[in-house]
Amino acid sequence: MNKIATLSAPDAPVKDNVAKLGAYLLQLLPFVGLSFIVGSLLVLWAGENPLEVYSLVLKETLFDELGLMIAVQRATPLILTSAAAAMAFRAGAINMGLAGQFTVGASIAAIAGYALPAMPKPLHILAIMALCGVGGAAAAFIPAIFKRLSGVNEVITGMIANLLIPHLMSFFINLFPAVRAARFGASSSGIRESAQFLQFSELTGGALGAGTKANTGIFFALGLVLFLAIWMRYSTLGYELRMTKLNPSFAEFGGIRAGRYFFVGMLLSGAIAAMAGAVEILGIWRGYRLGTLEIGNKGLVIALIGQQSFIGSLLASLFFGGLEAGAMKVTWYTPIPRPLVDILVEITIVLVALPSMRAFISGDPDSDVDRLGGRFVPRK
């Protein structure tokens, strides 16, 4: 009997995870249907056939090379920003400063991509990513330390940090003449070729990805997320972060300093968000183009849809990258205006995220994770 129990025990977590996934997907179905109904009403209002529009979205995303490449381009930053949000969630925190940290990474990537001497491409890109990680962690430290000093939830301090960061960036760039010159050079001449992620159209001589800026930065994003998932599962630090989120009191009783891991999670989250900005600059814009970057905090919503896990966030990012690609192509083949198509995408994202938002806000009545700022309900 003991032998049978021992052999069957490892299968239990797998079965539990499969059951949870199935229950979650069933929970999503009504909200997917609701998003389709709301979107159909808007499409009818625009004078188009909803079935034709939605079938066009699926066709152009799944069965068209151009649509697939646009999906890759749009999903790449979402993969990393949702991973950044998931990292903060893992530490029981909410990183509302993703937009500012993304911008910091984009700025550092452009300046370093121009200022660092030419070197082998992998080394150059890794050096830039390391600098961006440090900058993003420093940006995330602002809302984290404000929370510690003031007691104000990091949601508020994160939004304040987003307002402060552009001014702080401008101050530091103009404080050093060499950095200021590098920013001007990156704006006028672009970054070095050795710092650029190759675009698929360049890599294949136009055979794949023509007409898009989809690039090999997707492989960096996928590799980083898979590394984070494995690291979180098997490393000591990952275990301590998980325990801190699940039960801070138990973690402290076991010798884990729960307050410290709030900072650790926030700093790692900021570093990942900054790398998302770097990938966008190195792979798509290849110069100092901060005014064209609009990432916002969509990664937070996608991470919630992905059940606050790295793999779930990755899959959700790919899905919504494809949705955005299909919606973009709808505007090419139908008279539906682009703002209306963008509304359809945002409605789908918000409605599909509702079950996760409700679960996140209500929290677990048996957990005291709200002490770290991960819930909005008081402990009983």
Q: pLDDT of 84-94, one tens digit each? A: 999 999 888 89
Q: What's the fold here for domain 35-372?
A: ABC transporter involved in vitamin B12 uptake, BtuC (1.10.3470)
Q: Where are the alpha helices (DSSP H) in 176-309?
A: 177-188, 200-203, 217-234, 236-246, 248-253, 258-280, 298-305
CA distance 82 to 72: 15
Dihedral sign computed on CA atoms, order 162, 167, 168, 173: positive
Q: Over range 334-352, report the average pLDDT.
A: 84
High-pLDDT (> 90) share of the chain, %: 46
The fraction of the chain above a pLDDT of 70, given in percent, is: 85
Residue 172 confidence (pLDDT): 92
What pLDDT sits at residue 362? 64
Residues facing residue 199 across a β-bridge: 215
Does residue 252 carry a pLDDT above 70? no
Q: Is the pLDDT of residue 5 over 80?
A: no
35 pLDDT more than 80 = yes
SS3 199: strand
For range 3-23, the mean pLDDT: 57
Q: What is the mean pLDDT of the segment spanning 41-56?
A: 86
Torsion angles phi and psi, residue 215, rounded to 5 = -140, 175
Mean pLDDT, to the nearest integer, of 326-349? 83
At 264, the amino acid letter reads V
* Dihedral pair phi/psi, residue 142, rounded to 5°: -60, -55
Domain locations along the chain = 35-372
Tell me what pLDDT residue 72 has.
94
Residue 143: its pLDDT value, please?
92
The rounded distance, in Å, linking the Cα atoms of 137 and 129 is 12
Are 295 and 96 a contacting pair, CB within 8 Å?
Answer: no
Q: Which amino acid is at 147?
A: K
pLDDT for 365: 43
Q: What would the pLDDT profile of 276-302 be if each residue is shown by its tens digit?
A: 999 999 999 999 987 656 676 788 999
151 and 145 Cβ atoms separated by less than 8 Å: no
Asked if residues 221 and 76 have their Cβ atoms less than 8 Å apart, the reply is: yes
Q: Look at phi and psi of residue 119 and say left if phi exceeds 0, alpha if psi is from -120 to 50, else beta.
A: beta
Q: Looking at residues 225-245, what average pLDDT do you find?
A: 85
The sign one gets for the Cα dihedral 304, 270, 371, 158 is negative
User: What is the predicted pLDDT for the residue at 203?
Assistant: 92
pLDDT surpassing 70 at residue 258: no
